[in-house]
Amino acid sequence: MGCAPSVYAVGWKKKKLSIPEIMVFVRSMRIPVESDLQRPLKGVVSKDLVNRLSSIRNQIVLVAEDTGGSAISELRRALEEYLSLLPGLTKKEHGLEGLVEFKWKNLEDGRQEIGIANSWFELLSVVHLMAMLTMSEADSLMIPKDHSGSGIRTVSSDCKREAVDLLLKASGFLEFCAKDVLSCIPADVKHRLPKDLQDGVLEAISIQALGQGTEIQLGLAVECRKATLSVKRRLACEQLSYFSQAYHCLSNFDTSHGYGKKHMWFIKWKFLEAKAAAYYYHGLILDKRNEPSSHVSAVCCFLAAEKLLAESKKACLSFCLVAPVTRAPPLWGAMKHLHQKIPEVASRKSQMYGYLLEQEKVLQALPELPEFQLSLQPDDYRLPDIYPAWDDNQKRGNQEQTIEVQVKDNEDGILTE
């Protein structure tokens, strides 16, 4: 009986378990580890430029370590400044691509993942961090808050629209990584990249961001009285297409453990939700027609939506239980409405048109969902203008090279004489 008090008596304090709530899924964030830029760049790059590169990178390291990546605005400013300097190390004419070993680690477990002497790897990691911070900001906006003190947690329409903009921006960062940066990295370096930076994973997260943006838009449409069934069906079908593509991208990777496993369950969960919504709205549109066959097809859609909804609940639970454990978010947007409506409509319409189903001796085939051109596209991302000091550094290098050539020519001339 005296064991518990004695434990507390020596000052041990039980750590409070905090299980986060997730609205926008963000894979584990990777942050830079202190790396030596001074020594490998000494004498090759101007002292002021080296100091600036080193100073800003160290600032990013300190802020990311101290805040766990939560100081998004401060980190974003530092990263944007660093991105105006960093491309100078990647330019072939500067010859600096492999001089510095850049080190990064996983923020979740603090384990140093990798150190690679390649400036394109550094550029890839920095833009990827920008994308993860942007998605984290969208996640923060979408987590319901109680500002009134009434105990009712809500997310304003303005926050939802801002979250969509952020998701498009994050998708643009990731698309830039996959298309513009990875292509510049040598094959032997690509094989050493962590999974989060592999081509298919980058593409999957980029498409997932578009899918979640569409999910938010569908929620806004459900709340809008002017939005038609056709609009809601289209958004649900588009959301389904995005998560189907994301699933395809991830299916080529080992997702049996860690964040890969959690990510795959998230995609499955959202895919099933989107498919349930698509069949529900498709069923409502079919049910408006007068033909008995349309009513039968509508009932098939409603029953399929009900089954998919049940599967999505299981997928959500599996997602939450995969480490790191997370809380299931409260029902919101379209799903808050559909979790009630789908079982209700499926039951009512089955009873209403049961006699038609009985008349059909063969099993009814589930109608195909319509396909639509996808509306959301990643924001176009371009690196900021290169820091002017790189031009001065290049001119200085050319001048020094010219002087060396002249000195050598003079020495050769003297020796010849």
* 131-159 pLDDT, tens digit each: 999 999 999 999 988 766 666 778 999 99
Residues in the chain: 417
Residue 398: what pLDDT? 42
Q: Does domain 24-143+156-162+385-409 have CATH number 3.40.390.10?
A: no
* 21: helix, strand or coil: strand
Give yes or no for residue 360 having a pLDDT over 70.
no
Interval 342-366 mean pLDDT: 78
- Arithmetic mean of pLDDT, 285-313: 93
What is the rounded average pLDDT of the residues 383-395? Answer: 76
Report residue 112's pLDDT band, with 50, 70 and 90 as the boundaries. Answer: low
pLDDT at position 99 is 94
Which residue do the tokens 């947007």 mark? 333
**Average pLDDT of the residues in 86-107:** 92
| Amino acid sitting at position 218 | L
Using 50, 70 and 90 to split pLDDT, how confident is the model at 7? very low
Q: Among the listed ranges 83-92, 278-287, 348-357, 403-412, which one has the minimum average pLDDT value?
A: 403-412
Question: What sign for the dihedral angle of Cα 340, 328, 131, 253?
Answer: negative
Q: What is the mean pLDDT of the chain?
A: 86
Instruction: Provide the pLDDT for residue 259.
Output: 84
Of the listed ranges 28-42, 82-96, 361-375, the least confidently predicted one is: 361-375
- Is the confidence at residue 111, as pLDDT, over 60? yes
Higher-confidence residue: 222 or 406? Answer: 222
State percent of the chain over pLDDT 90: 65
Q: Examine the pLDDT at 10 and tell me if it is beyond 50.
A: no
End-to-end CA distance of the chain: 101
| 239, 218 contact by CB (below 8 A) | yes
